[in-house]
Chain A
Amino acid sequence: MSGLTLQGRNRLRLFGLLSPVTLLIGGFFVAPLLIMAAYSLAEPGMYGGVEWNFYPDSFGRVLGWADGSNEEFDIVYLEIILRSFRIALLTVLVSLLVCYPVAFWVSRLDARKRNFFLFLITLPFFASLIVRLYAWVLILRPSGFLNQFLHHLGINAELDLIYSETAVLIGLVYIFIPFMFLPIYASVEKLDRRLIEASQDLGASRWQTFRKVILPLTMPGVAAGSIIVFIPSLGNFIVPSLLGGAKVLMIGSLVEQQFLAARNWPFGAALAMLLMASVLVFLLLYVRSLSRAEALEGRP
Chain B
Amino acid sequence: MLDLITRPLRHAVIGGTLIFSIGAGTAQAAEELRLYNWGDYINPEVLTRFTAETGIKVGLDTYGSNEEMLAKLQAGATGYDIVFPSVHMHDTMAALNLLEKTDINQSPAFKNIDPAYLRAKSDPKGEYCMPYAWGTVGIFYNKSKVSKPIETWTDFFNEARAGKKVAMLDDMREVLAVGLISNGKSVNTTSADDLKVAQDWLLERKPLISAFSYEVVPMVQSGDVVAAQYFVGALMYVKQDPANLTYVIPKEGATMYQEDMCVLKTAPNKANAKRFMEFFLRPEIASLNTIQQTNGTPNGEALKLLPAELKDNPAANPPAEVKAKLQIFNDLGKDLKKYDRAWTRVRTAN
Residues of A within 8 A of B (CB): 44, 46-49, 67-71, 74, 76-77, 79-80, 128, 130-131, 134, 137-138, 141-144, 162-163, 238, 241-242, 244-247, 249, 254, 257-264
Q: Is the CB of B68 closer than 8 A to any CB of chain A? A: yes
Residue of B at shortest CB range from A129?
B11
B334–A68 contact, CB under 8 A?
yes
A140 to B333 Cα, complex, angstroms: 40
Q: Of the candidates B11, B171, B224, B337, which one forms a contact with A143 in the assembled complex, judged by CB atoms under 8 Å apart?
A: B224
A218 to B159 Cα, complex, angstroms: 53
Q: In whole Å, how far is A150's beta carbon from the nearest beta carbon of chain B? A: 16
B213–A245 contact, CB under 8 A?
yes
A245–B211 contact, CB under 8 A?
yes
A46 to B338 Cα, complex, angstroms: 14
Q: Is the CB of B78 closer than 8 A to any CB of chain A? A: no
8 Å CB interface, B54-76 against A: 65, 67-68, 70-71, 74
Q: Is the CB of B118 closer than 8 A to any CB of chain A? A: no
A259 to B333 Cα, complex, angstroms: 14
Number of A-B contacts (CB under 8 A): 110
Q: In whole Å, how far is A139's beta carbon from the nearest beta carbon of chain B? A: 12
User: Which residues of chain B are near A47, meaning CB under 8 Å?
Assistant: 70, 74, 92, 95-96
Residues of B within 8 A of A (CB): 11-12, 65, 67-68, 70-71, 74, 92, 95-96, 165, 167, 170-173, 192, 209-213, 215, 218-219, 222-224, 333-334, 336-341, 343-345, 347-348
Main secondary structure of the interface of B (DSSP, over half): helix
A126 to B73 Cα, complex, angstroms: 32
A71–B223 contact, CB under 8 A?
no
A47 to B88 Cα, complex, angstroms: 11
Q: Of the candidates A48, A70, A142, A257, which one forms a contact with B172 in the assembled complex, judged by CB atoms under 8 Å apart?
A: A257
A143–B344 contact, CB under 8 A?
no
Which of B11, B96, B165, B343 has the largest count of A CB atoms less than 10 A from its CB? B11
Given the known interface contacts A143-B222, A257-B340, the answer about A242 and B70 at a Cβ–Cβ threshold of 8 Å is: no
Q: In whole Å, how far is A73's beta carbon from the nearest beta carbon of chain B? A: 11
B215–A80 contact, CB under 8 A?
no
A38 to B171 Cα, complex, angstroms: 29
User: Which residues of chain B are near A244, meaning CB under 8 Å?
Assistant: 211
A48 to B333 Cα, complex, angstroms: 10
A137 to B340 Cα, complex, angstroms: 28
Q: Of the candidates B70, B212, B341, which one forms a contact with A71 in the assembled complex, judged by CB atoms under 8 Å apart?
A: B341
Q: In whole Å, how far is A47's beta carbon from the nearest beta carbon of chain B? A: 5
A257 to B71 Cα, complex, angstroms: 13
Q: In whole Å, how far is B272's beta carbon from the nearest beta carbon of chain A? A: 28
Q: Of the candidates A48, A76, A254, which one forms a contact with B71 in the assembled complex, judged by CB atoms under 8 Å apart?
A: A48
Knowing that A137-B219, A246-B347, A264-B337 touch, tell me 4 more A-B residue pairs with CB under 8 angstroms: A70-B192, A137-B218, A246-B213, A264-B340
Q: In whole Å, how far is A5's beta carbon from the nearest beta carbon of chain B? A: 49
B338–A71 contact, CB under 8 A?
yes
User: Which residues of chain B are near A260, meaning CB under 8 Å?
Assistant: 65, 67-68, 71
Given the known interface contacts A47-B70, A76-B348, A143-B223, the answer about A263 and B341 at a Cβ–Cβ threshold of 8 Å is: no
A281 to B293 Cα, complex, angstroms: 51
A162 to B172 Cα, complex, angstroms: 22
Identify the 6 closest CB pairs spanning chains A and B, nearest first: A245-B211, A70-B192, A246-B212, A262-B340, A163-B211, A246-B170
A80–B222 contact, CB under 8 A?
no
User: Which residues of chain B are near A70, meaning CB under 8 Å?
Assistant: 192, 338
Residue of A at shortest CB range from B215?
A242
B172–A74 contact, CB under 8 A?
no
Q: Of the candidates A74, A163, A263, which one forms a contact with B336 in the assembled complex, judged by CB atoms under 8 Å apart?
A: A263
Residue of A at shortest CB range from B222?
A143
Q: List 24 A-B contacts (CB under 8 A).
A: A44-B334, A44-B337, A47-B70, A47-B95, A69-B192, A71-B192, A71-B338, A74-B345, A76-B344, A76-B348, A77-B344, A79-B348, A130-B12, A131-B12, A134-B215, A143-B223, A144-B224, A163-B211, A247-B212, A254-B344, A257-B344, A260-B68, A260-B71, A262-B337
A257 to B215 Cα, complex, angstroms: 17
A48 to B96 Cα, complex, angstroms: 12
A74–B224 contact, CB under 8 A?
no
Residue of A at shortest CB range from B210?
A163
